[in-house]
Amino acid sequence: MSKILEQWVNGNGFPDTLVIDGHVHVGDWPHAATFKSIDEAVASSVEYLDTNGIKAFCALSGGYMMGLTDYHLGNDALLTIWERLPDRLIPFMCVNANDTPKNILAELKRMYAAGVRCIKLINHYQEEYPGDGPNLMVLYEFAAANKMLIINHSWSESEIGKIAVRFPGIDFIFAHYSGGHQDTVLKTYG
């Protein structure tokens, strides 16, 4: 067993190791709330981080990015939590791919002005909007111009192929690696 794993198994966290949790959801979910208040979200986050020896976490705005929900509410909650945990939270804003390009661009500008530099897409759960659809092209153009990182629940090989060629300066992250087409994409564009 590695020293790092042994330390963690023995309840000693990750000494001398920077640990960042790259995929945490905060906010209300469509079917159940993950917390009752911002205060509870902050306290729960700190307890989770400290208990597990995690220095910071990449926070995604919970269920407000699913379906046809109001993603502005999730982004607002994210900003409020970030204000209280500025050294421990890395915010990933979201949009609904089915919204108009004008509204998507306005939210990108608002969140960028607030200091957010990362985007979470989950277009597959937003009426299966295509990852290379015209509404998201506005988002990719803004992200490329402003050097923003983008994580997506999933892109098809065809979608990420088109996007990666058109926007080579963007760092794209697959939120869920399942092998298969991601291997081909990584070898081709990685």
Go through the domains of the chain in sequence order and give each one's CATH number: 14-92 (no CATH), 95-190 (3.40.50)
Query: What mean pLDDT comes out for the span 156-182?
Result: 82
Its pTM stands at 0.86
pLDDT band at 83 (very low <50, low <70, confident <90, very high): very high
Q: What is the mean pLDDT of the chain?
A: 85
Predicted local distance difference test score (pLDDT) of residue 103: 96
Closest of 185, 138, 183, 139 to residue 159, by C-alpha: 185
Paired tokens of 163: 């996007």
Neighbouring-strand partners of residue 92: 60, 118
Range 70-94 average pLDDT: 92
Q: What is the mean pLDDT of residues 85-114?
A: 96
What strands, in cross-sheet order, belong to the sheet with 20-25? Answer: 20-25, 56-60, 89-94, 118-121, 149-152, 172-174
28 pLDDT exceeds 70?
Answer: no
> Rounded to whole angstroms, how far apart are CA atoms 138 and 9?
45
What is the pLDDT, as a whole number, of residue 23?
83
pLDDT reported for residue 27: 62
Is-contact 94 70, C-beta < 8 A? Answer: no
Instruction: Outline where 17-115 has alpha helix (H).
Output: 38-51, 71-84, 101-113
No. of helices (H) and no. of strands (E), the chain: 7, 6
Q: What is the pLDDT of residues 145-154, one digit of tens each?
A: 999 999 987 7
The number of residues making up the chain comes to 190
Mean pLDDT computed over 52-64 = 81
Tokens for 110, please give them: 């608002």
Instruction: Note the pLDDT of residue 152.
Output: 87
Q: Are 64 and 71 in contact (CB under 8 A)?
A: yes
Place of tokens 């992200």: 143
Is residue 32 scored above 50 in pLDDT?
A: no
Give burial (CB, 10 Å; 0-12/13-18/19+) of 160: buried
Rounded CA separation 190/184 (Å): 9
Higher pLDDT, 23 or 166: 166
Whether the pLDDT of residue 180 is over 50: the answer is yes
- Phi/psi of residue 89, nearest 5 degrees: -115, 130
